[in-house]
Structure 1
């Protein structure tokens, strides 16, 4: 019986990859005088934004760089991230069906809060685990297991949905029914190294698949 669905955030619930790339590019240009491509930035993904900056920035003013990241992220969020009515409706529909919903993301809490407020998603989730809440970032399943423990839901009664290879690996390691999604205009992984149970390319397809999963 499906009791909970945990979602990744960037590239899954919102097309926030453009604002992430923009903010990181500004940080590395401002503090290290480096021009980084989106692919180079994506290669750093895993830790939260604060972890990425601390691990990869040469400039010693790391705390200042982190604040600059949040400044850029917030400043251009509205112009670079569009709200997705289909995804918002999906989340509200799951809540109405008494299915617990949560987020397990590598994002830092501060940037996630900015996005949730901007996209009218704040207050919707029963549990949120960010990159600030774990010792071991994705692809480790620590955060996913922590979310399920908080919800008091067994892994056999849960689904994890994400767009990246790290998401799928974390879900498989946690022995959770794992779905890879490629439904936004930008997502992180086109070919998964671990095979998810399903690969979904539209919200409508997910809704149909959830009916099948709940009947298993």
Structure 2
């Protein structure tokens, strides 16, 4: 194994609460709709800008997008805690000369806010966001692009995510795919598409690296 590519929301950071909150504010204040977290989750796939453009009835979509980012940035520190265990995992992978990347449906703008707030800037060898692909997850376009930029073959890489869309993208890219449920908030309780393995804690993942399972 030469590279590990991660999803972001619910995988590398417990950011789903801030995503849900910011979307709920947008749809309440612009469409007067009270959406549940599950209703918002059903919209996931495109980036935040795509979600708002595709689902908001109010014609002031660009204004609503700016409002989303304002809410996301303003309450990030109060709703999203730094996770030392994840941060230590990433640095230990780099020290072991394993390339690490992100393939996320998030837009670059919100990802940059989160990476800065969580002290993860500069850690990754490649980052592919929802802005960088024509076809969002579960299409594997972004993952294939990440592997190409990392200069690794699919059999030399692992893709880690917390949703069915992540697992489908990984399997379609013929990459060893891990479904994780190691953060307080993740997207999928039970995977409809079975990943190559399911991991419940960062400690379990590190152990699987040590014993050569991966």
Relative to the length of structure 2, the TM-score reads 0.98
Residue aligning to 2:14:
15
Distance in 1 (alpha carbons) for counterparts of 2:212 and 2:67? 43
Residue aligning to 2:81:
82
Residue aligning to 1:166:
165
Distance in 2 (alpha carbons) for counterparts of 1:158 and 1:212? 17
Residue aligning to 1:30:
29
Distance in 2 (alpha carbons) for counterparts of 1:193 and 1:172? 13
Distance in 2 (alpha carbons) for counterparts of 1:193 and 1:26? 30
Residue aligning to 2:196:
197
CA deviations 1:21-45 (Å, max 9, x no partner) are 0000000011101110001000000
Equivalent positions of 1:1-216 (< 5 A) are 2-213=1-212
CA deviations 1:4-30 (Å, max 9, x no partner) are 000000000000000000000000011
Cα RMSD for the two superposed structures: 0.9
Distance in 1 (alpha carbons) for counterparts of 2:171 and 2:207? 22
CA deviations 1:112-169 (Å, max 9, x no partner) are 0000000000100000000000000000000000000001100000000000010000
* Uncovered stretches (5+) of structure 2, i.e. residues with no partner: none
Distance in 2 (alpha carbons) for counterparts of 1:209 and 1:70? 37
How far has the Cα of 1:193 moved from its partner?
Answer: 1.5
Distance in 1 (alpha carbons) for counterparts of 2:78 and 2:110? 16
Distance in 2 (alpha carbons) for counterparts of 1:40 and 1:92? 35
Distance in 2 (alpha carbons) for counterparts of 1:66 and 1:213? 45
Q: Secondary structure at the match of 2:33?
A: coil
Distance in 1 (alpha carbons) for counterparts of 2:212 and 2:18? 34
How far has the Cα of 1:212 moved from its partner?
Answer: 3.9
CA deviations 1:152-201 (Å, max 9, x no partner) are 10000000000001000000000000000000011000111211111000
* Uncovered stretches (5+) of structure 1, i.e. residues with no partner: none
Distance in 2 (alpha carbons) for counterparts of 1:142 and 1:212? 31
Relative to the length of structure 1, the TM-score reads 0.97
How far has the Cα of 1:213 moved from its partner?
Answer: 4.3
| Structure 1, 48-57 or 203-212: larger mean CA deviation | 203-212
Q: Secondary structure at the match of 1:102?
A: strand
Distance in 2 (alpha carbons) for counterparts of 1:151 and 1:91? 16
CA deviations 1:61-120 (Å, max 9, x no partner) are 100000000000000000000110000000000000110000000000000000000000
